Structure 1
Amino acid sequence: MSESQQPYRVLARKYRPQRFADLIGQDAMVQTLANAIARERLAHAFLLTGVRGVGKTSTARLIAKALNCVGPDGQGGPTIDPCGVCEPCRAIAEGRHIDVIEIDAASHNGVDDVREISEAVRYAAVSARYKIYIIDEVHMLSKAAFNAVLKTLEEPPAHVKFLLATTEVQKIPVTVLSRCQRFDLKRIPAEKLADHFARVVEAEQVEAEPEALQLIARAAEGSARDGLSILDQAIAHGGPVVSADQVRDMLGLSDRGAVRRLFGLLLAGDAPGVLGALRDQYDLGVEPSTVFIGLLEAVHGVTRAKAGGGQDPALSMEEREAHADWAGRLGFATLHRLWQLLLKGHAEVQAAALPIEAAEMALLRVVHASTMPDPGELARRLVNGEVTAVPAQAAPPEAAPADAPAPMLARPTPPADFPALVEVVNARRPLLGQQLHDFVGLVRYAPPELVVRPTGPLPAEFARDLGALLRSIYEMRWDVSIADGPAEPSLLDKQKSAENAARDAILATPVVKAAFEAFAEAELVDYTPPEPGFAARSA
């Protein structure tokens, strides 16, 4: 049969890895296997785990080829780079090798199926170096089947290797896990998938926009097989070029530009604009839950940009610039609140009998929440005295005449001296008050101006925080600055000086002096500083 008459093979099968070098994103596993083969330290059982489509079964077949390859000349041994041309390699690739047995545990999950394996392992391989059992979706075996295979799995004959593959490793008994060498196949990054798809479309002589391949890679969620299936569908969808718009229409994805516009309307609190933009997407066939996924991705991208976590290379330049702009204008508290509101909205839309109505209500909730103060900020302002809670009154006060002027509240007056100001600050913010008392020397106190010199360690935000607190207390702008040069001792130093002076006064009294002269080893402890004039009265 000529090549043109051969039945069409889908891309997921046509481009299945035939060498370890073709595996995408599994470098650590390949390196471990290469070292094990080179040092002849091969385990008797391997467990391959990972999400669907990352290459578990393909890896198992590659391991079978690596262990049974004899090279083009028929004299080769186990190798991490099987030749692909010898009879064992070709037979394994085509699924017809008599000594490489593939078993689907979903349909052969009983004790009898496992018993057949236990009986067959006693016989040597017919033509290969190793008899290899590839058991796919091994977690589907029954509990009795697992128990029946334990002994065989732990001590198989030297000519037998077991390769187990599963997507749900948590369902496998620990007794089985402990008997296998485990490899966790990673999700394939979107950028690597996009590069792989670019090579595929080039080999297929098909043109595709880079953005279209990035959309397919993102939709594949780390699965090469899923991505190739989507790419196959996109090529068959029609058109000389696989375009991004075509892929969005095919997958029902929201236009990312439309998502950015909707996100901007949410931040602006434009309720009519938000409802209109959502309806536009809905009329184009985009599911409401997909719109929420796009908004969640936008919040995540902005938060990553703000945290310095780097940008997704699959994002367009417009998206990166938009994320950087929003990251500079939005705080972490706002972004986290947006994430929680959108996540809750997404769950409501998925469970709602009326998805579009639920989406509108959820987005309106986000709009109205954007105009409310952040609870944490409001609590901080209450604690700092920047706002005052108004208690509810039991009865309304007597109505004042309409032309009566509004009562004016007297503005609090700053203290007359610096120590009194420290007492006020200490009552509101004890930590700030202690720093002002212990580690600051006064240069100038002329409310609303305060100039100090540090005498000890102070946080970088000390002047800013103190100025904000004084402004909230006295309802005026304070100029708090740090300066070098002559300054009074700190209040702590003054306090210590006063205590030392009082102690010296006590030691100078005749009675105490006589006591120290009579008792050479005496010392003054646990004394109370005297009242003013105590030394004079004692004299």
Structure 2
Amino acid sequence: AADDPTVAPDERRRGRAMADGLAMRVLSRAWQMLLKALEEVALAPNAMMAAEMAVIRLTHVADLPSPEELLRRLHDAPPPPSPAPRGGGDAASRAPVARGPALPQGGGGGGGPQAALAGAAPLLAAYPAFPHVVDLIRERREARLLWEVESCLRLVRYAPGRIAFAPTPDAPSDLASRLSQRLQQWTGARWAVSVEAGEGGAPTLAETRVQAADALKAEAAAHPLVVAALAAFPGAELRTVHPRTAEAAPEQTGVTEAPEEDDDWDPFEEG
């Protein structure tokens, strides 16, 4: 590239200065990190986030010393002081040695993640089941994310802070990453959202609502009054069935007037 006639002289000069200042080990380390980043970008649900993390790692490693410098520092470092002899000796040798603050000890090296989970437990206590997560999305009025969670997500496993789902064929590829980001932003706790390959998982919430509506419609169509009404009016059909609420009076029977359209209809309300 230094002999390429298409390269401007200023760019060629800056390139030579950069090449002279970089050791081969530094270039090899950066090359290995870039190769690893290519694999992560290809497999990540969100390629842009994976690429950004690779750039962040490269930026962080740029300030670290090279392996040669680390070896030189270890070689030039003064030897540690020898420990005081135990047992006999004068009083000065038996004087207590000042100690620094004690480091926390944990079994098996798992104290970090366990402490993080313990700290996040109070934040996740408000979401013991998956419907509570859906209610949170509805409260935040995220229309697109709400539709995707209700129509494209087949739940496989759920625990507060962990969601595993099988996507439908029309699910967006970045659904897991966006759902994890939003939940962490809203709750202040980390959420692990993973995608399970295969055809497993429970029906989507939209499919569950359709199944419930079909079952209610079939039950209403078998009622003697409905059967008689359909027989009395040839060509009539049962289109919509509204479940009877607890507020309805027991003595109210017959046909009720259809409710008027509400100008303040909210798409985030259930029903």
TM-score (structure 2 length as normaliser): 0.45
Ranked by relative contact order (alpha carbons within 8 Å, sequence separation 6 or more), the top structure is: 2
- Of the two, which has the highest radius of gyration? 1
TM-score (structure 1 length as normaliser): 0.24
